[in-house]
Structure formats: structure tokens, C-alpha cells
Amino acid sequence: MDFKNEVVELIASQIDLPKEKINDLIERPKNAKMGDYAFPCFILAKTMHKNPAEIAKSIAENLSSENFASIQAVGPYVNFSIDHGKLISSTLKDVLDKGEHYGDQELGKGNVPIDMSSPNIAKPMSMGHLRSTVIGNSIANTMEKVGYTPIKINYLGDYGTQFGKLIAAYKHWGNEEDVKKDPIMNLFHYYVRFHKEAEKNPELDDEGREWFKKLEDGDPEAVKLWKWFREVSLKDFKRIYNELGVTFDSYNGEAFFNDKMQPVIDELRDKGLLHESRGAQVVDMGPDENPAIIVKSDGTSIYLTRDLAAAEWRMKHYNFVKMLYVVGNEQAQHFVELKTVLKKMGYDWADDIHHVSFGLITQGGKKLSTRKGNVVFLDQVLKDAVSLAKKQIQEKNPDLANQDQVAHDVGVGAVVFHDLKNDRLDNFDFNLEEVVRFEGDTGPYVQYTNARAQSVLRKASKVGKKPADNDLALDDEWSFAVAKDLADFPRIIARSADKFEPSVIAKYALDLAKKFNKYYANVKILTDDNQIGARLALVQATSIVLTEALRLLGVNAPKEM
């Protein structure tokens, strides 16, 4: 039951204000003694020619509802106190009835392509790509939960002049066996070496350019090497996606749009948007902005042009209602240009494009950079997280079955959760020990709380007790705190979907876990009295919601740990 909605309805039956307005005005009193909701009457004084306190009094006198223990005027406010027993029982019933579908809603529908992860071939996937992957994945899950059809697109960085350099480097120092053994690592080393040696020997750069030209012209050897690099790199990336449990609906990367850029350039010219500036073809961005470059002075087209082609192609193929780009905030200007140019081309759907940007991950306060060799290898991070998790499990629960599977869920889940619990725009520091702790604001803490709930249910079932499905009114304050959180879940999901902000769900999961642990510490759940079924229902409902919240974040919830 949505109590706030009922407050809106009740107030609306008494006064002449639109419901949305009433909804916005409703407050949550700080002091619980003042009720759970308060409606301030100041705004009505003018039209009703009475003072706010009189208005509050007359509204309160006319209202009654079985869901509220009291509705009364206090000064200029109408205060509503929820019937705690009612809130608890109706919420628990709702969660148990709907199970994992609790919180499903239809806020919209239609295709929503999500451009996410998009690492660059032949380079290690960076922490930034990890962020894009897990944020994008969680947003996809959440959009689906509220009615949309997400389409997860991995726009691989699989084309560009760097591949000319890579081929040249491979021809000098590479060999097939090494690449097969550890593709990303070795290709990356060739690439780094190329840059180092090119500083002393500029001829290398010419070679790189020649190889790129060959690639563009379809030279069989160049094309074969490029395809091979792409294939082995992708296989490496897929290993990481597998670990994370993330899948994609499309791998149409940059190369896919090679033959789709010229039509866009022609279109821009036909629409009179293109003009020359210092040898380049550009589109004006407005009086105080630098123009957006479409074709460089050497005739090569660039990142933006490709993204224009990709956006048009996606509109044609997916007829999307929104499109999201989950990309770090250092590319903010690029997406401003993308939207502005599309808008100038006459595409109103440019307004449905959102750059879902995010902050940096630092380590020891320092920026990570692939180019400077200051890299973190994600494989390694995940492996380390899993073995740390395993160590903790062995200490806490040495007899646990499926230790490896649980350690995997906890270790990987910890890294994912840590990434999602901060507002996505915030920068944050990465410290593995911190991430994998079972206490504090971590993923393992939430997982552990869920496993604790499951363990209570197992113990109960051993003595023949199970969650009740009616008479669920509990009367202690800890149950009420948990139930209030449970009742909030649908709204939390809606807010997360609206803001493309997984942290809303992660913070909620932490809060619910804390409330449940307080309940667990203060209430003897398994005492055999006539409320045991109701208490178990609360335990079950909590586990359902924690599990679903974690699923939306892309984190598994082991039943035992």
C-alpha cells in the first residue's frame, strides 16, 4: 500500500489543488511523534480567506481512514500517523505475494540502447571501462524493471590510426605464440614499445601511417592482422564480462561504422552545416564555442563523425525512446557536440540522448593512466578480490559448501557494489581490502545480511515453522523501521531509473541491511509464540528485497556464506 498516495487522495478530496502539487507539498516530520506525513496549509490561506490553522483544523475534522491511526491538525499542519500494524502487514503481504516482481512497474516502454563498456582493442580494459560496464549493466536491469527494453551495446574501440602503429610494432617485435598466450598483455607491450622507440626513431611513425593506409585500402595482410587482434582481444574482454556476469546485445564497434560516415558527411554538407576552417571541415557550435570537427585537415574523419553515424544507425534500427552513453565525464564535451550537431541536422530525438557520465577511480589518490603504464589489470583486481573473500569465508565459515562459488560472488560482488554505491559523478579511491570487508558500507555486508536472513529461515523450517501469509501485524519499532524501508522499494527503483543512478539502490540496500540487523539484534525471531509466522514473513520479505536490489546492481546474493 502506498500511504503517501493515500494522503494525497485524502487531501485532494478536501481542497482545490492539483494532486501533483499536493504531493510536492507533503512533508515528513522530523519528530516521529508528529506523525509520518504532514500537509502544510499556508498556501491555501489566500484563496480560502481563513488562516492556515483554521484550514488545517477543518480539513482534519472531515477526514478519516482506516490506514491511519490518527489524522489531526497541529497548528497550520494536518498530520497523518500511519497505523504501524497496517503498514507492516500490508507491506509484507505485498512483498511475499509478488516475490521478485515486487517493485516492477511501467514508467515507460520502448527500446533504450545503452552504449556501455566500449573498451579499446589491444589495450587492457581500464578501471573507467569497468565503471562503464557495471553502471551500464545496473541501469539496464533497472530500466527493464520499470518497463523499458534495454539494448546493451559494446561500442568497441576497434578502429583507428593506432592499429597502423600496432601492426608495425607487431611486424618488428611480435610473434604469434605470445599473442595467443596472452593477447592483451602482449599487444599492449608492443604498442608501448612502439611509442618509446618512435621518440628516437620517427621513421616508425611513418611505418605506422603506411600500415593504417593499407588497412583502409583493404590490404589482405593488414586486414588479417587487424581482424586477428580484434578477435583475440575480444576473447580476453569476454573473460572479464563473464566474471562480472555481464552480457551484450551488440558488439557493433567503431569499425562497423567505417562505411557509414561518408553519408553523414554528405548529409551535413547538403543541410548546409559544414564549412571549412583551417583546412578542416567543421560545424559551428555557437558564438562562444569552438566548432566541432567533422573531417580533419588530413582528410581523416574522427570520433565525432563516427558517433554521428552510429546514432543515426541506431535510431533507424532500434527506433529508440531514449539512448544512453555511459562514458566518463572527461568526454562531456564530445557528447555535447554530438547532441548539438544532431539537433542542427533536424533530429529532435537528440533530446532523448543522455550522456550518463561518471567520475574517476584513483588509487592512493593518484589518477590511473594506461598510456603512462600506471595501469591496473582488471583480471588481477577481480582475482585478488575473490581470494580475499575466500580467506574471510574460511575464517568465518570453514565448513561452507560451494566455497569457490560463494567466494566468487562475494569478491566480484564487492568490487561491483563498491563502484555503484557512490554517486556516479563522484571520484573515488580504490582500496581492495576496504572493498571486500564484511562490515561497513560494503557489498559483502549486504550479502551477509541476506545470508543471515536465509539462515534464520532454514533454522525455522527445521523446527517446522514458516512465514505466515496473514496476521502479519507486528508491533515493535524495529519491524516498523524495516517494513517502512520495504514499502519504499518501488519508489527507490523509480528514482534510480529516472536519474540513471544505481547508487540510489545501493544506498538503499545498505540502509535496509542496517535496519534488518537492528531488528535481528533486538528481537528474538524464533521464539515460539503466535507472532513467529509474522516475524518470519518479515525475514523472508527482507531477503526478497535485498536479493532483488542486489540483482538490479548486478551482484549475486548467495543464500549461505
- Binding residues for ligand ARG, per CB under 6 A? 115, 118, 120, 155, 157, 307, 325, 327
Q: How many CB atoms lie within 10 A of CB 179?
A: 21
Tell me whether residue 130 or residue 327 sits nearer to ligand ARG (CB atom): 327
Residue 120 or residue 556: which is nearer to ligand ARG going by CB?
A: 120
d(Cα 82, Cα 473) in Å, to the nearest integer?
Answer: 13
Cα distance between residue 409 and residue 119, in whole Å: 24
Taking the least distance from each CB to ligand ARG, the nearer of 39 and 257 is 257
In degrees rounded to 5, what are phi and psi of residue 367? -70, 140
**Nearer to ligand ARG among residue 155 and residue 229 (C-beta):** 155
Cα separation of 493 and 495, whole Å? 5
CB of 46 to ligand ARG, least distance (A): 52
Residue placing its CB nearer to ligand ARG in the complex, 331 or 455: 331
Residue 14: all three cell numbers together: 478536501
Indicate the helix (H) or strand (E) that contains 356: strand 353-356
Q: What angle do CA 75, 81, 82 make, to 5 degrees?
A: 160
Task: Report how far residue 452's alpha carbon sits from residue 438's, in angstroms, rounded to the nearest whole number.
Answer: 12
Cell 559544414 locates to 274
User: For ligand ARG, which is the closer residue by CB, 120 or 531?
Assistant: 120
Least Cβ distance, residue 513 to ligand ARG (angstroms): 34
Give the shortest CB-123-to-ligand ARG separation in angstroms. 8
What angle, rounded to 10 degrees, do the helices at 332-344 and 303-318 form?
Answer: 60
Least distance to ligand ARG, CB of residue 118, Å: 4
Helices (H), 325-399: 332-344, 378-396
- Return the number of the residue (355 or 421) whose C-beta is nearest ligand ARG: 355
**What is the DSSP code string of 226-274?**
HHHHHHHHHHHHHHHHHHHT---SB---GGGGGGGHHHHHHHHHHTT-E
Question: Of the two residues 197 and 249, which places its CB atom closer to ligand ARG in the complex?
Answer: 249
**Min dist. Cβ of residue 48 to ligand ARG (A):** 55
Residue 449, amino acid: T
Rounded to a whole number of angstroms, the CA Rg of the chain reads: 29
Q: Give 244: exposed, middle or buried? Use CB within 10 Å, 0-12, 13-18, 19+.
A: buried
Closest separation between CB of residue 295 and ligand ARG, Å? 18
Cβ-closest position to ligand ARG = 157
Q: Which residue has the cell 569457490?
A: 404
In the bound complex, what is the minimum distance in angstroms from residue 116's beta carbon to ligand ARG? 8
Task: For ligand ARG, give the closer residue by CB, 155 or 212.
Answer: 155
Least CB distance from residue 236 to ligand ARG, whole Å? 15
Distance in Å, CB of 316 to ligand ARG, minimum: 16
Strands 361-363 and 366-367: antiparallel
Query: Which segments of 26-122 are extended strands (E)?
Result: 37-40, 68-74, 77-82, 111-115
Q: How far is Cα 389 from Cα 32, in angstroms, rounded to an integer? A: 40
Whichever of 120 and 138 has its CB closer to ligand ARG, that residue is 120
To the nearest whole angstrom, how small is the minimum distance from the Cβ of residue 372 to ligand ARG? 16
